[in-house]
Structures are given as C-alpha cells and as structure tokens.
C-alpha cells in the first residue's frame, strides 16, 4: 500500500522528469536545428524542424496578450493538477502519473513563455507531404498522454463508484 507521501513523490518525480527531458530536448533542438532545413528522421513522415509557437495548442492565439494569458493558465493548471494528485487515492498510480505528466508538460511550456517572447520551442514534425500535424515538443507529448491517462483514471473511478453503489443498493434491497 502506497502512502500519501509516496504518491506525492511519484507526482513530483514524473513532473520533474518530464520537465527536465523537455528542457534538455528544446535546448538541443535550438542549438542543432537552427538555421538548417528540417532533418528527416523517418523520411517525410517524421522530421525535426525548429519553430517557435507564441500561441497555445494547434497555434491558438489570443492576440498581443497571448503570452501572459497562457502563462497564467499554465500556472493555474500546475497548481490544480498537484491538488488533484494530492487529493487522490495513494493507490491510484495512473492518476499520480497522469497529473505529473500534464503538470510537467505545462511547466515546460511555461518556462519557454517566461524565457522568451518568441514563444514555445517546438521541433517534432509529423505528417505526409503537405498534410502535417502541428509541430510539437516533449512537453506537448506529456500533456497529451497525461490528459488521456487522467480521463481514463477518472472514468475508472466513476465506474468503480457506480459498481459500489449498485452493490450497496442490491444489499439494502435483499430481505435476507
């Protein structure tokens, strides 16, 4: 059985591990990929291409205040994710890891917004020909995978709660 302190350590270990991987990968990308053209890793399908994103996911932009709005959203997200992880069952490892991934990714992109008005460093380019996914980074992968894992964790908790309620109702109706 995991203690609450161990769960918090798992959250922080995942968040800091992802943050470190994100920072290192972005600094390497900035040094290696500028000013050369895209580097093909797996042909046209996977390339390394340095771009700076001043907006949010998929290039969402909110005008001249985007940097500060997204900075504030990231800070709030990290705080809320820590609270979700802290208030979750210590046995729910998926929730601890999911919250750590999203928080670490949000923090990685937050650091880019603070560090430079150029925006978030993105460098992973996936697609075929002119059909490309928006360029992303390690932090974005953590946020995406963590969000999916968090949704699954919440769904599993809801399913467990529904089964427990159904079992309690059937016991209370049993005349024996």
Among all residues, which ones are annotated catalytic? 122, 140
Q: How far is CA 60 from the centre of its chain?
A: 17
SS3 at position 129: coil
- Of 112, 171, 167, which Cα lies nearest the Cα of 137? 112
Strand partners, 122: 51
Question: Is residue 38 within 8 Å of residue 49, measured between CB atoms?
Answer: yes
CA distance 139 to 135: 12
CA distance 168 to 170: 6
Kindly list the distances between the CA atom of residue 174 and the CA atoms of 52, 161, 162, 164, in Å, as whole numbers in the listed order.
64, 20, 18, 15
CA distance 121 to 164: 46
Please provide the size of the chain in residues.
176
């Amino acid at each position: 059985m995991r203690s609450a302190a161990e769960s918090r350590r798992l959250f922080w270990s995942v968040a800091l591990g992802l943050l470190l991987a994100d920072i290192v990968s972005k600094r390497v990308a900035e040094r290696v990929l500028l000013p050369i053209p895209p580097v093909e890793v797996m042909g046209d399908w996977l390339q390394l291409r340095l771009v700076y994103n001043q907006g949010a996911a998929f290039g969402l932009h909110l005008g001249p205040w985007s940097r500060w709005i997204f900075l504030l959203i990231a800070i709030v997200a990290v705080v809320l994710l820590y609270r979700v992880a802290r208030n979750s069952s210590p046995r729910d490892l998926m929730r601890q890891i999911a919250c750590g991934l999203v928080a670490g990714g949000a923090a990685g992109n937050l650091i880019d917004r603070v560090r430079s008005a150029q925006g978030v460093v993105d460098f992973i380019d996936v697609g075929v020909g002119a059909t490309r996914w928006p360029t992303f980074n390690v932090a974005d992968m953590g946020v995406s995978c963590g969000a999916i894992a968090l949704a699954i964790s919440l769904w599993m908790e809801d399913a467990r709660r529904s089964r427990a309620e159904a079992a309690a109702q059937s016991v209370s109706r049993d005349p024996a």
